[in-house]
Amino acid sequence: MPRIAYLGPEGTFTEAALLQMVAGDMVPPGGAAGEVVPLPYDSAGGALEAIRTGDTDYACVPIENSIDGSVIPTLDGLADGSALQIYAEHTLDVAFTIVTRAGLAAADIDTVAAFPVAAAQVRKWLAAELPQARIVPAYSNAAAAQDVAGGGADAGVSTALAAQRYGLTVLAADIVDEASARTRFVLVGAPGTPPARTGADRTSVVLRLDNVPGALVSAMTELSIRGIDLTRIESRPTRTELGTYKFFLDWAGHIDDEAVGEALKALHRRCADVRYLGSWPTGAAIGALPPPVDEAARWLQATRTGGSA
């Protein structure tokens, strides 16, 4: 049974994402659906590092949030240290479960435990529904539930999974002030053969570029000229050398798409370093597909051998 580290403690959105990935068809190689060993870690970086030390087979970590942007510790954990590879992704709508202990009604609630980021996302709901309650900070969404279970707070802003884990009562479900917030999680492992191309895939790389004007544009041209649709780009300073950057790029397509293969070879030649972070299915299209090159390849083959094109 594969071990999967995750950003814990038990009951986080990350664990919920992990369980949904396992229950679906995103089972990592080596494990039947549902048969995994989840291992909570207290940081995304720690969960990723556990792959390198052999303490886990996979890690499930958040990578992007529609409100807060990229999860930097995850990006840095993927870019630095020995190579890792992404095999799957799963996106969750951000929506909280307000938990309490059995027997407590809304009117009884004086204190609400909440991770500060979560508190900010349910502020309006709390003001309207629990106006009398005072908010007390918690370390995580799961810790908010633990606080309620331990009697440290009357209610907590937490997750459905945490309510279940800690035997709490659900006061309200699917609570969020702004409904569009979503978090994307990825399943990471040691480098290996990517999942087969599905036609709706994402490829991700980290580039390190020489500090030369135009280096980034040249690298991006290797993609655009091949019709590859970039869906994300983000520069991050490297920690080792002042004024140098690493660039995280995502695009629609799979390493087994011929155009993507050509682009990766070209980036490998051009860049100081290319770290391949994987190709994996997204379920739905995230951008324009790389152009198929079958016809052009046939033409080249015919031309090379004097056949008619």
- Give the number of other CB atoms < 10 A from CB of residue 234: 16
What distance in Å separates the CA atoms of residue 45 and residue 168, rounded to the nearest whole number? 30
| Residue nearer to a copy of itself on the CB measure, 27 or 119 | 119
What distance in Å separates the CA atoms of residue 190 and residue 57, rounded to the nearest whole number? 8
CB of 28 to a copy of itself, least distance (A): 13
> What are the DSSP E strand ranges found in 96-162?
96-100, 111-114, 134-137, 155-158
| Residue nearer to a copy of itself on the CB measure, 21 or 195 | 195
CB of 211 to a copy of itself, least distance (A): 9
CB of 218 to a copy of itself, least distance (A): 7
Which of 168, 175, 130 lies closest to 148 in space, CA to CA?
A: 168
Count, residues in the chain: 309
CB of 102 to a copy of itself, least distance (A): 25
| Residue nearer to a copy of itself on the CB measure, 78 or 266 | 266
159-191 exposure pattern, b = at least 16 Cβ within 10 A, e = fewer: bbbbbebbebeebbeebbeeeebebbbbbbbee
| Residue nearer to a copy of itself on the CB measure, 106 or 117 | 117
| Residue nearer to a copy of itself on the CB measure, 129 or 229 | 229
CB of 103 to a copy of itself, least distance (A): 26
